[in-house]
């Protein structure tokens, strides 16, 4: 078999999927990828290494069933890319690590106004907008507070100073003091983005610290399992913008991949669903724990230009415009009956295991869907679903005397609530997108309006819930081939990408690249063109260090602002952003 072999693994809150694909040979007349094998196993959160080994073993068996040599194909893998919803699920379900937050802003608005979490320390000190110190830093109170954090359950620290991308020195000293006093890992805000937005940098650093341990454990598990399976290729993790980043980067900046699961589903739909190329479409990926949503315009996903939103807070992470809600096939049902016979049913966001249909202990959305069993059929053990739903119906006053209609009434209300939550979130996503200029990955140009005309539905419960969602959304809903493993396919086909931001102040004679912790001297005659060329050069060098030597780097933002320095002489503030544009290596061949 000729062509490059790529592997995709997507670890969700409920299942872990894998897909093995062959990319077209260079110069092929009809460049289309082929799906060689795919597999799905339950995610065991207490044993992530075992879960990844299990899905790779299942992938080998699937390859053998197709007449292929699974171990030989795994040994030939040239790129392994991962996606996961573990981090976003942990945030949605309030299972992420507790974070201690240290903030410094100097004079002006109280930084506590933008704080997150219960453990916040305001540190005296501050800089002006050019990075010049205006208030000396004092870390004594921070050291005392940080020393007490571990006993209060704090597991990580985030330190953020206003204007730190212009001068990270005070922020570094905050981090050193917090680390020495607490012994905890520390995230520094300037290392995550060079953009100036203090509230968003606070959220970015906070969430980075909150998920770092969980994501690190996942990456450790995957690396060990890949090695055991004979995969020697470098592994990458999807970022929120749909690009694949080396694991070393993902360990440093886990916040970039919190929404890698939704990004994987977007990449998968680009590969699987030709209809995405027509007009505007809505993507729904319903898993066991969450439903992820995104919007396509003429085949390309819409980009969230304002930065990834997590739990209502904006960050500085570039991402696809998406939203995740706690509604999935394994979401628990909460039902209450009243004395006058009224019934209220709510779905999610809690999940305590699989649906009754798959051996769980309590009724979930999937069990309610099985009771209704529309044209697309049931999933798993439908009899177990009906028995569990009957028991719940009796608890809320819809016992046997109501006949089968009592159980169906309970199921109808559960499904209606779930679909209503999805529809509300979809409307909110679309309205938010249309409130600002709209951009897609394919082109940095504004689109007048994005109004979905159709829906693509992927994920395990897709067949059971399709007709219900079609009614709730008032739009035609399609399910593409290989919908159960769309995320793994998307991960496998995503291309490596990166973004780098640089800032130059010719008055101070300095060029800063915060995410690289790099500074260098520049002359007062520095031009925008030379700054852009230097930023591109630095990004290309970083990519080579990470094993990517053929990336096409483009400048996506380049701005120059005339200013006066402290001596009254003219100077320039220059800001440049370079990137390797995210995308997919190929689409799946027709009929695959």
pLDDT value of position 218 = 87
- DSSP-derived letter for residue 557 is E
Task: Let me know whether 467 and 539 are in one domain.
Answer: no
Q: For 271-279, what is the mean pLDDT? A: 87
Do the Cβ atoms of 387 and 394 come closer than 8 Å?
no
| CATH code of the domain in which 143 resides | 3.40.50
Residue 273 in domain: yes
Q: Give the end of a domain, one of 464, 492, 520.
A: 492
pLDDT value of position 154 = 97
pLDDT value of position 323 = 85
- pLDDT-based confidence at residue 542 (cuts at 50, 70, 90): confident
Residue of 513 and 150 predicted with greater confidence = 150
Q: Is 203 helix (H, G, I), strand (E, B) or coil?
A: helix
Residue 420 in domain: yes
Task: Let me know whether 311 and 364 are in one domain.
Answer: yes
Q: Give the end of a domain, one of 163, 184, 215.
A: 215
CA dihedral 283, 285, 291, 292 (to 10 degrees): -50
pLDDT value of position 369 = 94
pLDDT value of position 401 = 61
Task: Let me know whether 41 and 183 are in one domain.
Answer: no
Interval 364-409: pLDDT, tens = 999 999 999 755 567 889 999 999 999 998 888 776 665 567 889 8
Task: Let me know whether 459 and 477 are in one domain.
Answer: yes
| CATH code of the domain in which 276 resides | 3.30.420
Domain count, the chain: 4
User: Residue 417: is its pLDDT beyond 90?
Assistant: yes
Around Cβ 364, how many Cβ atoms within 10 Å? Answer: 32
Region label for 442, one of left (φ > 0), alpha (ψ between -120 and 50) or beta (otherwise): alpha
Region label for 524, one of left (φ > 0), alpha (ψ between -120 and 50) or beta (otherwise): alpha
Interval 236-247: pLDDT, tens = 999 998 889 888
Residue 363 in domain: yes
Q: For 525-529, what is the mean pLDDT? A: 90
pLDDT value of position 338 = 59
Helices assigned H by DSSP within 344-381: 365-372
Task: Let me know whether 265 and 341 are in one domain.
Answer: yes
In which element (H, E) is residue 12 found? none
Q: Give the end of a domain, one of 186, 215, 244.
A: 215
| CATH code of the domain in which 45 resides | 3.30.420.40
Listed range (109-118, 168-177, 208-217) with the worst mean pLDDT: 109-118
pLDDT value of position 49 = 82
CA dihedral 101, 106, 110, 112 (to 10 degrees): 0
User: Residue 339: is its pLDDT beyond 60?
Assistant: no
Helices assigned H by DSSP within 435-461: none
Q: For 14-30, what is the mean pLDDT? A: 78
Return the percentage of the chain with pLDDT > 90, whole number: 49
Task: Let me know whether 487 and 505 are in one domain.
Answer: no
Whole-structure pTM value: 0.84
Residue of 92 and 587 predicted with greater confidence = 587
Task: Let me know whether 488 and 345 are in one domain.
Answer: yes
Task: Let me know whether 177 and 291 are in one domain.
Answer: no
pLDDT value of position 29 = 44
User: Residue 568: is its pLDDT beyond 90?
Assistant: no
Residue 365 in domain: yes
Residue 191 in domain: yes
Task: Let me know whether 68 and 108 are in one domain.
Answer: no
Task: Let me know whether 290 and 432 are in one domain.
Answer: yes
Task: Let me know whether 176 and 306 are in one domain.
Answer: no
Residue carrying structure tokens 């925008």: 528
pLDDT value of position 337 = 67
Supply the mean pLDDT for the chain. Answer: 87
pLDDT value of position 425 = 96
Task: Let me know whether 399 and 517 are in one domain.
Answer: no
Give the Cα separation of 539 and 194 in Å (integer).
14
- 9's CB contacts (< 8 A; 6+ apart) are 16, 17, 18, 52, 55, 80, 81, 82, 83, 222, 488, 491
Residue 587 in domain: no
Q: How many whole angstroms from its chain centre is CA 235?
A: 17
Give 146: exposed, middle or buried? Use CB within 10 Å, 0-12, 13-18, 19+: buried
Segments forming the whole domain that contains residue 16: 1-84
Residue 220 in domain: no
Interval 58-78: pLDDT, tens = 999 999 999 999 999 999 999
pLDDT value of position 91 = 86
Q: What is the CA radius of gyration of the chain?
A: 25
The answer to whether the peptide bond before residue 275 is cis (omega within 30 degrees of 0) is no
User: Residue 55: is its pLDDT beyond 90?
Assistant: yes
Residue 161 in domain: yes
Q: For 204-220, what is the mean pLDDT? A: 93
* Residue burial 455-487, b: 16+ Cβ < 10 Å; e: rest: bbbbbbbbbbbbebbbebbebebbbbebbbbbb
- pLDDT-based confidence at residue 566 (cuts at 50, 70, 90): low
Give the Cα separation of 118 and 331 in Å (integer).
28
- 207's CB contacts (< 8 A; 6+ apart) are 91, 96, 255, 258, 310, 315
- pLDDT-based confidence at residue 445 (cuts at 50, 70, 90): low
User: Residue 578: is its pLDDT beyond 70?
Assistant: yes
Return the percentage of the chain with pLDDT > 70, whole number: 93
């Amino acid at each position: 078999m000729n062509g490059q072999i790529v592997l995709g693994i997507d670890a969700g809150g409920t299942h872990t999927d894998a897909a093995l694909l062959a990319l077209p040979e260079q110069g092929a007349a009809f460049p289309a990828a082929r799906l060689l094998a795919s597999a799905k196993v339950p995610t065991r959160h207490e044993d992530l290494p075992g879960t990844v080994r299990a899905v790779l073993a299942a992938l080998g068996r699937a390859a053998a069933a197709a007449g292929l040599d699974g171990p030989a194909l795994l040994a030939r893998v040239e790129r392994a890319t991962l996606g996961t919803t573990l981090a976003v699920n942990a945030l949605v379900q309030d299972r992420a690590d507790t974070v201690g937050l240290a903030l410094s802003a100097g004079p002006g608005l109280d930084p506590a106004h933008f704080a997150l979490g219960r453990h916040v320390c305001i540190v005296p000190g501050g800089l002006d907008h050019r990075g010049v110190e205006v208030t000396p830093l004092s870390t004594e109170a921070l050291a005392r507070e940080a020393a007490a954090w571990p006993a209060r359950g704090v597991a990580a620290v985030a330190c953020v100073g206003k204007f730190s991308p212009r001068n990270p020195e005070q922020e570094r000293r905050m981090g050193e003091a917090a680390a020495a006093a607490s012994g905890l890992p520390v995230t520094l805000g300037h290392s995550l983005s060079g953009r100036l937005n203090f509230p968003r940098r606070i959220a970015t650093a906070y969430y980075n610290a909150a998920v770092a341990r969980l994501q690190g454990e996942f990456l450790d598990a995957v690396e060990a399992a890949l090695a055991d399976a004979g995969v020697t290729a470098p592994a990458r993790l999807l970022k929120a913008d749909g690009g694949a980043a080396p694991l070393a980067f993902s360990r440093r900046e886990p916040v970039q991949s919190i929404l890698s699961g939704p990004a994987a589903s977007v990449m998968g739909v680009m590969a699987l669903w030709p209809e995405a190329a027509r007009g505007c479409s809505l993507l729904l990926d319903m898993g066991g724990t969450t439903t992820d949503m995104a919007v396509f315009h003429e085949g390309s996903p819409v980009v969230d230009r304002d930065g990834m939103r997590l739990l209502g807070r904006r960050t500085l992470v570039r991402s696809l415009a998406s939203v995740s809600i706690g509604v999935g096939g394994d979401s628990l049902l909460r039902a209450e009956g009243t004395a006058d016979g009224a019934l209220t049913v709510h779905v999610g966001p809690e999940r305590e295991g699989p649906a009754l249909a798959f051996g769980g202990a309590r009724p979930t959305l999937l069990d309610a869907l099985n009771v209704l069993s529309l044209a697309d059929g049931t999933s798993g053990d439908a009899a177990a679903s009906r028995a569990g739903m009957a028991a719940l119906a009796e608890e809320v006053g819809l016992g046997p005397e109501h006949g089968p209609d009592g159980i169906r009434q309970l199921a109808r209300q559960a499904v209606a609530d779930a679909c209503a939550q999805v529809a509300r979130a979809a409307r909110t996503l679309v309205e938010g997108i249309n409130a600002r200029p709209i951009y897609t990955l394919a082109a940095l140009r504004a689109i007048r309006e994005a109004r979905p005309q159709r829906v693509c539905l992927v994920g395990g419960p897709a067949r059971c819930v399709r007709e219900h969602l079609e009614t709730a959304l008032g739009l035609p809903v399609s399910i593409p081939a290989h919908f159960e493993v769309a995320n793994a396919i998307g991960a496998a086909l995503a291309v490596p990408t990166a973004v780098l931001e640089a800032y130059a102040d010719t008055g101070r004679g300095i060029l800063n690249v915060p995410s690289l912790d790099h500074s260098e001297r520049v002359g007062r005659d520095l031009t925008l063109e030379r700054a852009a060329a230097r930023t591109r050069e630095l990004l290309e060098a970083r990519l080579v260090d990470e094993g990517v030597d053929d990336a096409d780097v483009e400048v996506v933002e380049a701005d120059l602002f005339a200013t006066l320095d402290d001596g009254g002489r003219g100077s320039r503030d220059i800001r440049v952003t370079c990137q390797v544009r995210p995308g997919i290596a190929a689409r799946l061949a027709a009929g695959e």
